[in-house]
Amino acid sequence: MSSRTLAPLSLALAAALVLSACGGEDAPPPMPVPEVAVVTLKAQPVSLTRELAGRTTPFLVAEVRPQVTGIVERRLFDEGSLVKAGDPLYAIDDASYRASRDSASANLARAQAAELSARLAAQRSQELAGSKLVSAQDNERAQAAWAQAKADVAAARANLQATDVTLGYARIVAPISGRIGKSSVTAGALVTANQAQALATIQQLDPIYVDLTQSSSELLQLRREIAAGKLEQADGVPVKILLEDGSAYGEDGRLAFTDVTVDPTTGSYALRVVVPNPDNLLLPGMYVRAAVDMGQRPDGVLVPQQGITRDPKGQAIAMVVTPEGVVEQRTVQANRTLGDQWLVDGGLSAGDRVIVEGLQKVQPGGKATVVEAGAAPVAGADAPSTAALN
């Protein structure tokens, strides 16, 4: 057979072998569906708290000032000690006030004697007038003299009471119970009635106030949420106190009142918390922080922070696996955090399955198989959670 005849035959045989090999090879296997870990969201009560800065102020403050003028004879208290209302604090020389009191007492005795004489005269005149032995005009004068004598007795008694009060002011007593500070005067000092300088200051520190400030914009947001039914007002909820070093104070406070006026210079309003202070650990002027409960969301939805990401525009997004196994991207409204979780205001609801692991494996519109995340604090909480307002 010639070479020209063998060449076409070789080409045909080679083509047949190639076709045979291609026909016998299997097609490439399909790509596997990625597996992701999800958390199934559930609604639960969530308490919204706000950590506010403030300073402590005394529950009661009384500046001790003299109400009479005189020389201080002695101080009757220990500086920095606890005093009770009515305890004597200072003794002022009262010689002149005692003399005035004795004079007022003598005037009262003289007025009482004059009243006795006028009363007897009036009684005799009344008897004689009945027998027509005294004219009606003389009887009326006797009765008027008796009335004048009784008025003089009342005036003298009032004057005696006034001198007693003044004499009592010579012994200065504590107006309230509390801890008294240092004394500004010593024995021998001249003090004057109602002077500007206080002799000492008494402060009641148990309980003690914590004065806080909060932005008025936050107040408007809370009121809108309450009006919309998203938030329930919390009343009588304990207030947690944090000290300057970050440690928790052992006693919880309670919200006493909220001011009705906004400071135009700062755009904030005042809140006052009453805190027990049995050991006097809190002193006036200390800086503290208070976690104030602003309300409770009865059906709050919490999402682990790893399930929320940000797109190039800064919007919060979450990847959700639908019941059909399709991945969806959701835009989420999440502005508050609770530990390692976000409190969702919109975009997600109870029952949604949010991807928390394996986000790099999926794309919106793709398929995914799900496995419930092992640690899911959001799904199993029975007690109300507490969310901090950022």
Please report, in tens digits, the pLDDT of each residue of the chain (390 residues total): 444 444 444 545 454 444 444 544 555 666 678 888 889 988 888 877 778 899 999 999 999 999 999 999 999 999 999 999 999 999 999 999 999 999 999 999 999 999 999 999 988 888 888 777 878 888 888 999 999 999 999 999 999 999 999 999 999 999 999 999 999 999 999 999 989 999 999 999 999 999 988 888 777 777 776 676 666 666 667 888 999 888 999 898 888 888 878 888 888 888 889 999 998 899 999 999 988 877 777 788 888 888 888 888 888 888 898 888 888 998 888 877 777 888 888 888 888 899 888 888 888 888 888 888 864 443 333 444 555 554
pLDDT, residue 145, reads 92
pLDDT at 120: 92
Q: How confident is the model at residue 30, as a pLDDT?
A: 65
Contacts 24+ apart (CB under 8 A), 270-273: 270/211, 270/212, 270/213, 271/52, 271/54, 271/211, 271/212, 271/213, 271/214, 272/209, 272/210, 272/211, 272/212, 273/54, 273/209, 273/210, 273/212, 273/239, 273/241
Chain-centroid distance of CA 312 in Å reads 40
HEC assignment per residue over the chain: CCHHHHHHHHHHHHHHHHHHHHHHCCCCCCCCCCEEEEEECCEEEEEEEEEEEEEEEEEEEEEECCCCCEEEEEECCCCCCEECCCCEEEEECCHHHHHHHHHHHHHHHHHHHHHHHHHHHHHHHHHHHHCCCCCHHHHHHHHHHHHHHHHHHHHHHHHHHHHHHHHHHCEEECCCCEEECCCCCCCCCEECCCCCCCCEEEEEEEEEEEEEEEEHHHHHHHHHHHHCCCCECCCCCCEEEECCCCCECCCCEEEEEEEEEEECCCCEEEEEEEECCCCCCCCCCCEEEEEEEEEEEEEEEEEEHHHCEECCCCCEEEEEECCCCEEEEEEEEEEEEECCEEEEEECCCCCCEEEEECHHHCCCCCECEEEECCCCCCCCCCCCEEEECC
pLDDT score for 186:
93
In single-letter form, the type of residue at position 17 comes to L
Residues 252 and 247: their CA atoms lie apart, in Å, by 13
Q: So what's the pLDDT on residue 70?
A: 94
**Residue 285: per-residue pLDDT:** 92
> Environment class of residue 210 by beta-carbon count within 10 Å: exposed (0-12), middle (13-18) or buried (19+)?
buried
- Convert the pLDDT of each residue in 145-161 to its tens digit: 999 999 999 999 999 99
Query: What is the model's pLDDT at position 379?
Result: 35
Q: How confident is the model at residue 94, as a pLDDT?
A: 92
The confidence score (pLDDT) of residue 214 equals 83
Look at residue 230 in the predicted model and tell me its pLDDT: 64
Determine the residue type at 53: A
What pLDDT is recorded for position 234? Answer: 64
Q: Could you tell me the pTM of the whole model?
A: 0.66
Cβ(125)–Cβ(134) below 8 Å: yes
